Structure formats: structure tokens, C-alpha cells
Chain A
Amino acid sequence: MIISLNNYTFEYLAGTKALSVDSFRLHRGEKLALVGRNGSGKSTLLLALAGLLDDRSTSRSCAIAREKQSLVFQSVCLDKKLTVEENLNLFAKVWGLSKVEINRNLVEISETLKMTDLLKRNVGSLSGGQQRRADLARALMIEPEVIFLDEPTGGLDVIAQREFWSALGKAQQKYPDLTIVCASHHGNELNLFERFVFLEKGLIQLDVSRESLVGEAHHETIEISTPNCSQLQEVLKKKLNIDAILLFDDKLMSHSNSAAETIEKMKALTDFETLVESVTVRRTSLADVILKKLLDLSAPFENHESLSSALTEVAP
């Protein structure tokens, strides 16, 4: 165990608990994803684990020196007027690395993240994806034992997001003992992770392993585009006893446990031509399971309609 929280609470405003944790342990080498919708408390838990909340609390214990903890925030923290190399040098010096360590890490990390050609370029001249990669390099420069990522791909397009996760994947291969904690609501980004903590209203609702989540996965996922979600949802439930979850304003999602069940549902949907615009069938992904969990967990708190805007698309 490297970081633990016991009876930990945090309030941004007096009287409003943003986070309340009875007991939480982070283990060395773990790849932990903190999942929840906006305002669920995942970033607060991430900052609490990083020891960056002004909590004056003694209920956090940490076995890793501050110098070995690194953070990647929602926005790029680099000085855009300096080159990537100048930035990496600067942050490594601020973290207390020696010149020899800086030179060694600069070569190693830029090669690992495939960004050697970017080193001499001003950060401001890089694309959003390249800037994020450079920011990840900054976090890795200090030889961290644990790295905290707070929604690191927010605002990036799909290609830039992939670039970032690919870079993190390479870093993970290079440094297998690196502990990674990531707060995200993008289910499709979390393939690297082994442990998933779901949060809602500042509380840990579920703490499960990847195996457990995948084990729960249905065989196939049917995505239905419709001009009238609520009507189709009602019809499917009443007439055919099919459960369909509201995914977006114009999309429903239903799961099947077998190919036969999928075929049966598809046949049933042909009876509602006016309500069904298109149907997509795919193998259920980890992102689908995460999304379903989020919807299930948030159901007691709020209706699904408000959720659909907070959640992102589910990639196949």
C-alpha cells in the first residue's frame, strides 16, 4: 500500500461535503481509474490522494515522497513561449533532479513517447495532442512512482485522445511499476486500467477490478437511433419486455446475452419502423459496461436525461 485514506472528508464550501471516504488504499503499480460524471468527486479524490487538498487532515498516509509524485491536469501546464526541451528542463529542475538525471531522462522519455522531433519546438506551435504528449513527458521526467492524471484528454479531438493514450501505454510498458491514477468520464479511454472506482455525490459507490467488470459484460450491445426515445423505450418495455437505456437524446442502448437474443430483439424492432431510424449491433466493450454502471449508479440520484449530456460517446 502506498497511499491510504481513512475517514477522509473534504469540503470546498463549509457544510457541503465534496468527498467522503471511509477507507481507501492505493497499491504500488496499480492502474486505477476514477470514474464518475461531472461533479461526482473524482478529481477531488485524485487531489486528495495526491495530497494537494487543503484539508489539514491526518487521515491520509503516503509512503511515497512528494518528489516522486507527478500530476497531469485537465489543461496543459507548460510554458507555451518556451520549447518542449526548455520546459522539461525547467520542471525537472524545480522537482530537484540533477543535470545528469535531466539529460538522461530527456533522451529516454522523448524516445519512449516518440517526440524527439518536438523537443526544439515552442510549445505554443504544437497541436493540442502534441502539447498533451509534451505535458505527459513533463510528468514522467521526474521519474515518478505514481502519476495522477486529472481528465488528461479533456477538450481534445478523438485522434489527439488516441495519441495521448498511446503515449501513456508506451510509458506504461517502459515503466511497468509506475502507479497510475486517472480521473475520467470517458469510458472508451480506460482500457489501460485494472481497477475502477465509481464515484457519485462525493462517495465511492463501487470499487471493482477490470476482470469483475468484464465478467459482467453482456454478449452484445444494440444501439438504437430514434426520434422519440421515451416513446420507444416505453413501447419496448410494455409490449416486448425489452429493457433499453437512454444513452443520448436520440439513442437507446440494450444488451443481449446471446446472439439468439440479439436476433430476437432485432426482429422485434422491425415492427417499429417509424420509431427506429437505425440499429447498430456490436460486441459489448469495457466502455459499454462502464457507461451502464454509471447510469445504474446515478439512477437513484438523478434522471437519465440530465446524465446523457454529461456522458461522452461510447466508442466501439
Chain B
Amino acid sequence: MTSLRTFKVAHALWQRDTLRFRKERSRWIGLVSQPLMFWGLIGFGLNSVVSLPEASENYLQFFYSGSLVMCVLFTTLFGSISLIEDAQSGFLRAIIASPAPKLGIALGKVAGLITLVIVQLIILLAFAPLADLSLTSVNWLQFVITAVVGTATLAGINLGAALLINSVQGFHAVMGLILFPLWIISGAMFPIPSEGALGALSAFNPMSHIATLFRFSLIPGASVSTAPLSFGILLIQATLSLWFATAMISNRRVQSV
């Protein structure tokens, strides 16, 4: 009964987010064009001067997966900022004051972001042939699972952090100081050695695993032997981040929203 209730609440909030996304076309354009622009400028710019050791793909192909991770990151970030706006407008207060299970609220927000990410990834995939990536060789099941689990992980972290920080400016600062650098050293822009500090950090960095799994789905024969391990870690991180977001929603009090 409770799980059905949780699902219904998640469904209602997912519907709300998708409705809003449909009405905010400018947001779509921004979220899709930013990774595309990064990929175009950096990927094409560096493709002729950068060669990847021990890799079957060129830099443009390598960075394409990184751009997809950027899409996931930016979408979950801006989606989380909308949660702060919900708190400031009073919408969140009414939802928290409702008898809705808090897990349902978190799942609804995460599901909304997953939908948005999937649609944007489809748009971005249309540009994959520009990097000589064949859409017929994409492992779609793995690609979609990566998108879903990866978005759930980043969405959970960002939603929880947004509620914790509770200020758009503060959240922007966190984005600039922590999340964007984490994206850079995730293996999205350049290969990360498995040894040393960066290697250790990337083991805990969910974006490293998302980048690995996207690469694994898109590029046949890509040197990503750690893909199964990455998937396992990402799954654990997704569960923990969902728990974090739910806990932050549960801790939110009506009198302080």
C-alpha cells in the first residue's frame, strides 16, 4: 500500500516536472546546446593535436562521452536549483506538509530529471555521426541504463545538496568549486590514470563511472575493462544519493521552509 502511494506521488511530481519542461523551451535549448558547444569547440579543436595512448578512439569520440556526462550534470544541477526555487515560492512547503511519502517526493523529482536527460541525450546522439560514431553499433540497453542510473545518482546528490544549501547563489558556488572540477577530472575530458590521487578520486567520483559506461555503450572495443565494476559502484552510489535526497526532504520542516 505504501509503495503504491509512493509510486503515485512520484508519478504526480514527475508529471508536474515534465509539464514544466514542455513549457520552458528556452531551458531545453540551453541545456542541450551547452554540452554540444563544449564538445564542438574542445573536441574539434583538440582532435588534431591530441592523441590518446592505448585507445582505439580519437579525441572527438573520447570527448563525446564526456559531453554526455556534462549534459547529465548540468540538467541535474539546474533541476536541483528549481527545487530551491520551489522552496522559496512555497510550493515545496505545501508538498512537505502533505501526507505524501518523502521517498515518493524524491523519486518524482529524480524521475522528472531522468526523463529530461533521456530526451536531451537523444538529441545529442543525433550529432554522434559527426564524430564517426555509428548509431547502429550503440549498445542501447547499456546506454539507457547508464543514463537512468547515472542521472539518478547525480540528481540525488544535487537535490539533497540543494535542500541543504537552500540558496541559489550558494548552490552556484558549490557547482563552480566542486562539481565542475569533478567533471573535468572524471575522465570526461582526458583519460585518468588508474593509479595515484586522481585514480583514487575517480573511484569515488560518480561522473567517472558514468563517463566510463557511456564510452562502453557507444564505442565498440573502447578500452573500458572496468565497466562492470563502474556499473556496480554507480548502482550503490545511486541508492545512497536517493537516500540522501529523501533524508534531506524528511528533515525539511514546514516552519522553516
Contact = CB atoms under 8 A, between A and B. Distances in A.
Interface of A: 12, 44, 47, 50, 52-54, 65-67, 71, 73, 75-82, 86, 90-91, 93-96, 138
A82 B19 contact: yes
B20 A91 contact: no
Interface centre among A44, A80, A93 (most CB of B within 10 A): A93
B196 interface: no
Interface in B58-91: 86, 89-91
Nearest to B92: A77
Interface of B: 5, 8-9, 11-13, 15-16, 19-20, 23-24, 86, 89-91, 93-95, 97-100, 253-255
Nearest to A90: B16
B184 to A, nearest CB: 33
Contacts of B11: 93
Given A12-B255, A90-B15, A93-B12, A77 B99 contact: no
16 contacts: A12-B255, A52-B253, A66-B99, A71-B94, A71-B97, A75-B89, A77-B94, A78-B91, A79-B20, A79-B89, A90-B16, A91-B94, A93-B15, A94-B95, A95-B98, A95-B100
Given A93-B11, A94-B12, A67 B99 contact: yes
A99 B95 CA distance: 19
B253 A54 contact: yes
B109 to A, nearest CB: 13
Contact of B16 (A65, A66, A76, A79): A79
A71 B100 CA distance: 14
Contact of B20 (A52, A81, A96): A81
Contacts of B86: 79
A50 B94 CA distance: 13
A73 B93 contact: yes
Contacts of A93: 8-9, 11-12, 15
Nearest to A12: B255
B8 A81 contact: no
Nearest to B9: A94
Nearest to B252: A54
Contacts, number: 71
A47 B97 CA distance: 10
Contacts of B89: 75, 77, 79-80
A210 B86 CA distance: 39
A165 to B, nearest CB: 21
A57 to B, nearest CB: 14
Contacts of B98: 91, 94-95
Contacts of B255: 12, 44, 47, 52-54
Nearest to A148: B97
Contacts of A65: 99
What 6 A-B pairs come out closest when comparing CB atoms? A77-B94, A93-B12, A66-B99, A52-B254, A75-B90, A77-B90
A73 B100 CA distance: 18
A91 B8 CA distance: 12
A54 B253 CA distance: 7
A43 B102 CA distance: 24
Interface centre among A73, A90, A94, A95 (most CB of B within 10 A): A94
Nearest to B11: A93
A44 B12 CA distance: 30
Interface centre among B5, B91, B253 (most CB of A within 10 A): B91
Contacts of A67: 99
A86 B91 CA distance: 14
Nearest to B254: A52
A93 B9 CA distance: 7
A77 B151 CA distance: 28
Given A53-B255, A77-B90, A79-B20, 13 more contacts: A47-B254, A52-B253, A54-B255, A71-B97, A73-B93, A76-B90, A79-B89, A81-B23, A82-B23, A90-B15, A93-B15, A94-B9, A94-B95
